C-alpha cells in the first residue's frame, strides 16, 4: 500500500454553533489506500452529523487520484447538506491542478493558509 | 551526433496490482522531467494520466496473476505517447466499443458525475491529451493510447486559444 497518513484534529471554530475539524493528509492517495484511509473522515461525519466544518490541509499531499476526488465530492455533499462547509488549504500546485481539471474547485474553495481557510469559514 | 530528438520507446510490464502503480507514477514523473521538454506541470499531469489508465487496466482488464503493459514513446521536442494494454482476462472487462460508449456519454456537455468513481478517463486522461484512442488487441484485451504534442502544451500554457483538437478514435 502506498504510504498515506490522515490526522484529524479539532480547531477552535470561528462560528460559535459549529464544530471545526482539520484533516491533515500526508503522502499519496491512490487506488491502493484511498478506500481504507478515507473512512477516517467518514467516521468524523458520523460522529458529527450536523454543523460540521472541515478544512482539508493538503500541504503534504503529494498525489491524489480521481477516486479520492470522488470521495471529497461525496464528503462535500454530506457536510453541506447538514449545515456545514468544506474548504481546502495549502494544496500543492500539482494537487490544485488535479482538483481544477476534475471540477472540484467549482464546489470547494482553495486557500493558501489555514488562517485564510478559517476566515472563509467564518464568513 | 545529436540524438536528442530521436524517438525513444520504453516498455514496462507490471503485475495486475495497484501496489505497483506508484512506481510507474514516479517513473513517469521523472522521465518526463528529465528526458522531455514538457514543463514540470505536464510531468505531474502525465503522472495522473498514467495512474488512471493503469488503474482501469488493473481493475477491469487483466485478471489477478496476469499483467498490464505500459509503453512510453517520445521525442524530446515533439510529443509523448502513452499506451496501456491489458490481457482482457479481467472479471469486468470491456471492449473498445463499450469503452468508447462510456467515454462519449461522460464527455457529453452537461453530463453530471455522481458517485465516487468514473471521472478519471474523461476528466483527467481526456483533458490532458490531444488524442485518445481505444483499440481491441488481436490477442485479447484493450489497448488505450494517448498522445500529447509539446507545441500544443506550450500554446495552452501561454493561454493561446486553439480549436479543440481532442479526438477519440475507435479501431476494432
Mean pLDDT by 10 residues, chain B (172 residues): 75 94 97 94 97 94 93 94 95 90 92 85 95 96 96 75 39 34
Q: Which helix (H) or strand (E) holds B35?
A: helix B21-35
Question: Quick one: A25 exposed, middle or buried, by C-beta within 10 A (0-12, 13-18, 19+)?
Answer: buried
C-alpha closest to that of A86 among A49, A120, A36: A120
How much is the pTM? 0.91
CA B97 to chain centre: 17
Q: Please report the pLDDT score of residue B87 as a whole number.
A: 93
ipTM above 0.85, yes or no: yes
Domains of chain A and CATH, by start: 4-122 (3.30.750.24)
Name the residue among B18, B48, B124 with its Cβ closest to that of A31: B18
> Nearest 5°: phi and psi at B94?
-140, 150
DSSP B62: S
CB pair distance less than 8 Å for A70 and B115: yes
Judged by a CB distance cut-off of 8 A, whether residue A82 touches chain B is: no
Domains of chain B: which residue ranges?
9-171
CATH 3.40.50.2300 for the B9-171 domain, yes or no? no
**Residue B72: which H helix or E strand, with range?**
strand B67-75
Nearest-Cα residue of chain A relative to residue B26: A63
Chain B residues in contact with A93 (beta carbon < 8 A): 41, 44
Q: How far is CA A25 from each of CA A7, A34, A70, rounded to the nearest angstrom?
A: 7, 11, 16
> Percent of chain A having pLDDT more than 90?
93
* Angstrom distance (rounded) from CA A90 to CA A59: 5
**If you average pLDDT over residues A25-39, what whole number do you get?**
97
Q: Per the structure block, which three cell numbers stand in for B76?
A: 524530446
Share the mean pLDDT of chain A: 96
Whether residue B120 and residue A65 make contact (CB cut-off 8 A), yes or no, is yes
Amino acid at each position: 500500500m502506498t504510504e498515506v497518513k490522515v490526522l484529524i484534529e479539532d480547531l477552535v471554530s470561528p462560528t460559535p454553533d459549529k464544530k471545526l475539524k482539520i484533516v491533515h493528509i500526508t503522502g499519496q492517495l491512490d487506488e491502493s489506500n484511498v478506500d481504507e484511509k478515507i473512512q477516517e473522515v467518514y467516521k468524523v461525519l458520523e460522529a458529527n452529523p450536523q454543523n460540521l466544518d472541515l478544512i482539508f490541509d493538503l500541504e503534504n499531499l503529494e498525489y491524489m487520484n480521481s477516486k479520492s476526488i470522488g470521495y471529497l465530492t461525496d464528503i462535500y455533499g454530506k457536510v453541506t447538506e447538514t449545515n456545514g462547509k468544506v474548504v481546502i488549504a495549502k494544496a500543492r500546485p500539482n494537487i490544485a491542478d488535479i482538483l481544477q481539471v476534475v471540477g472540484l474547485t467549482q464546489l470547494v474553495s482553495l486557500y493558501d493558509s489555514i488562517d485564510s481557510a478559517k476566515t472563509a469559514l467564518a464568513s | 551526433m545529436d540524438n536528442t530528438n530521436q524517438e525513444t520507446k520504453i516498455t514496462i510490464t507490471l503485475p495486475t496490482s495497484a501496489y505497483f502503480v506508484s512506481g510507474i507514477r514516479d517513473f513517469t514523473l521523472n522521465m518526463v522531467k528529465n528526458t522531455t521538454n514538457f514543463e514540470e506541470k505536464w510531468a505531474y499531469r502525465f503522472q495522473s494520466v498514467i495512474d488512471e489508465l493503469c488503474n482501469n487496466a488493473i481493475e477491469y482488464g487483466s485478471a489477478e496473476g496476469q499483467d498490464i503493459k505500459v509503453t512510453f514513446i517520445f521525442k524530446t521536442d515533439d510529443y509523448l505517447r502513452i499506451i496501456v494494454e491489458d490481457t482482457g482476462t479481467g472479471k469486468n472487462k470491456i471492449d473498445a466499443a463499450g469503452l468508447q460508449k462510456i467515454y462519449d456519454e461522460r464527455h457529453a456537455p452537461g453530463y453530471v458525475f455522481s458517485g465516487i468513481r468514473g471521472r478519471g478517463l474523461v476528466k483527467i486522461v481526456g483533458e490532458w491529451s490531444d488524442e485518445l484512442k481505444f483499440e481491441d488487441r488481436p490477442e485479447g484485451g484493450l489497448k488505450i493510447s494517448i498522445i500529447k504534442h509539446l507545441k500544443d502544451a506550450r500554446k495552452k500554457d501561454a493561454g493561446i486559444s486553439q480549436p479543440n483538437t481532442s479526438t477519440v478514435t475507435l479501431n476494432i
